[in-house]
A and B are shown apart, each in its own frame.
Chain A
Amino acid sequence: MKLLDIKNLNLSFKMENGVFPALYDVSLSLNKGEIHALVGESGCGKTMTAMSIIKLLPKNAIITSGEIIYNDTDILKSSDKELRNIRGSKIALIPQDPMTSLNPLYTIGNQLLEIIEKDKSLTKEEMREKCIEVLELVKLPDPKNKLDIYPHELSGGMKQRVIIAMALASKAEIIIADEPTTALDVTIQAQIMKLLNEIKKEFNTSILLITHDLGLVGEYADEISVMYSGRIVENARKDEFFNNTLHPYSKALMGALPANTNDKILKTIDGQPPNLQEEIIGCRFSPRCEDCDITVCQELPCLKEKTPNHFVSCHKV
């Protein structure tokens, strides 16, 4: 069941020297109780796609066309007030860097309450209990005493747990996890991902997992979309994706995984992802693509269903 459906989203950035498209016909859907992983290099538009969902974009970003359907309404057409009711209540965000995402001047309890007090029916005592309850859910040790301490007294992993607790406190249906483990060390990474997976199972929450870690994707995702330079280049269910990777970019990403290299030298993808303002004729990946064929790749490929439920945008597949 589709809970959230992004349809043909186009987004551009207005800059001093012109308007440049950053997202190009991005379509993505999120099923109830599933983890959809959005994978790609830095700057490919993963975060922009995610932020469009809660309409928190930089001032110079313009959505030129597209729809984001949630609960039968288009989020992009919602008023500020409607958006505020969605943000943090229905769709929660887990930001990239937990270290800087909590306000240093307010206690954990205070910042948690901001979400819980949206439910006006609760008494003060119930709110406090609710805080403790969600902190217990994210397995923060000694939650009662954590309410009155400040963010700087917590470690990075604990802060990320507090942020996840906020998502739980709002009973969000959708969690956007924007590289939730990038700023954490590896052991904490595993714990946080395990926690997110448990939440998914227990509360039937849908999670949009933005990451560039294919290892995480293989372990936790249900569906995968690969993004390159503002476009979705491949979309498939997890098993199909890993067993039958089709797009040359996805293949190159898989090839760059340390586990998949037999030589002692780590394989990389030559070149840099294109700059927003760079003009490339035809397929945006063609300058870095090993399979590129100048005769056919001069035209922009579009996403086509190659095998059932497996979409790829490449002329060569």
Chain B
Amino acid sequence: MKLGKFILKRILQTIPLLVIVSIISFFIIRLSPVDPLAELRLNPSISQETLAKEKARLGLDKPIIVQYGLWAKSFVKGDLGITSNGEKVSVKLIERIPNTLILTLIVIFMTWSVGVPLGILGAIYNKTKLDRILTILSSVGMAIPSFFFAILLLIFAVKTGWFPVGGLTSYDFNDMNFLGKFFDIAHHLVLPVTVLFTLSLAGLQRQMRANMLDVLDSDYIKFARAKGLSENKIIFKHALRNAINPMITLLGFEFAGLLSGAALTEYVFQYPGLGRLILEAVMKSDINLVMASLMIGSIMLVLGNLLADILLLITDPRVRG
């Protein structure tokens, strides 16, 4: 009951936040000297009728405040307009979001299941050889630019032929059975996941190591030792839970960060994800798509934080307080 009330409160709190984000995004985009319909006009396959409809929807002949009102009204209704290719923005997004979610969730799952144990090891064996090796590896991981690493892997894929060079599915995807489809997607995911995994693993591992070191030095761990508890109990019962709490907040940011942070990697691998869609939309000044993507990004950030807050509520009694 208390939890439900908290979640409801948090969701209500995000509404003004989203309104402010949308206002700022809207005005920044409209301040740029770009004709929102330029691309559409140049596209011969778009009929005059569609163009007129879109013009009316955006209210381009009215003052900018009214334009914002019109945009907000249709956004709430779920009408996000059309892209420069004449496709519906909402259809395009719905097509891309699952792809990015698959990528993001796999990467988050992998970085957490590898980074957290490595961080713990680094802290327990602080200043030993193992810790030094882990630190060097994570420095290397942090230092490699994602696009460069992606290109290296692409060259690798081309030279060996072990991995597909881009996209999410093979050309004969539709003819495959379920298992075949599954393996085809997995095969395509290996390289982009490797890039994003390497990139975010290093940071996560370092953060976890630092948290764990802090906690291991705390008074309650010293006291737990003085109580004569076993080392296992000290590390896994007392230290781990305390060290992981700050990471949960991080998870919220990471969720949103990977959506847009994956843009370069998605671009290099021609992965049909949200990040690449946004990047291409910006380059084509596809206003409707950019605006919708910005809103999706903000909603994801808000959702990620909400998720992290709820998790914290479960794990930390002080937040419940």
Contacts and interface: CB of A to CB of B under 8 A. Distances in A.
Interface of A: 54, 56, 83-89, 92-93, 95, 97, 100-107, 114-115, 118, 150, 152-153, 163, 166
A95 B317 contact: no
Interface string B201-218: 000000000000000001
Interface residues of B, number: 23
Nearest to B219: A100
A105 B229 contact: no
Contacts of B220: 100-104
Contacts of A100: 218-220
Among B228, B229, B233: residue with most chain A CB under 10 A:
B228
Contacts of B238: 103, 106
B316 A54 contact: no
B316 A56 contact: no
Nearest to B220: A103
A118 to B, nearest CB: 8
A95 B222 contact: yes
B241 interface: yes
Contacts of B226: 54, 56, 87-88, 92-93, 95
Nearest to B318: A152
Contact of B225 (A56, A86, A102, A104): A56
21 contacts: A54-B226, A84-B228, A87-B227, A87-B228, A88-B228, A92-B227, A97-B219, A100-B220, A101-B220, A103-B220, A103-B238, A104-B220, A104-B242, A105-B241, A105-B242, A105-B245, A105-B316, A106-B238, A118-B228, A150-B318, A152-B317
Among B223, B229, B230, B233: residue with most chain A CB under 10 A:
B223
A101 B238 CA distance: 12
Chain B contact surface mostly: helix
B315 A105 contact: yes
Given A56-B222, A95-B222, A97-B219, A104 B317 contact: yes
Interface of B: 218-220, 222-230, 233, 237-238, 241-242, 245, 315-318, 321
Given A56-B226, A88-B229, A93-B226, 11 more contacts: A84-B230, A85-B228, A86-B228, A93-B227, A102-B223, A103-B220, A103-B224, A104-B317, A104-B318, A150-B317, A153-B321
Given A150-B317, A152-B317, A152-B321, A101 B223 contact: yes
Nearest to B218: A100
A152 B225 CA distance: 21
Given A104-B318, A105-B241, A95 B228 contact: no
A166 B222 CA distance: 15
A150 to B, nearest CB: 4
Contacts of A101: 219-220, 222-223
A70 to B, nearest CB: 14
Given A97-B219, A100-B218, A100-B219, A105 B225 contact: no
Contact of B228 (A89, A105, A106, A150): A89
A153 B315 CA distance: 16
Contacts of B316: 104-105
A38 to B, nearest CB: 17
Contacts of B241: 105
A163 B321 CA distance: 22
Contacts of B317: 104-105, 107, 150, 152
B223 A95 contact: yes
Closest CB pairs A-B (n = 9)? A87-B228, A88-B228, A88-B227, A93-B226, A100-B219, A150-B317, A101-B223, A84-B228, A103-B220
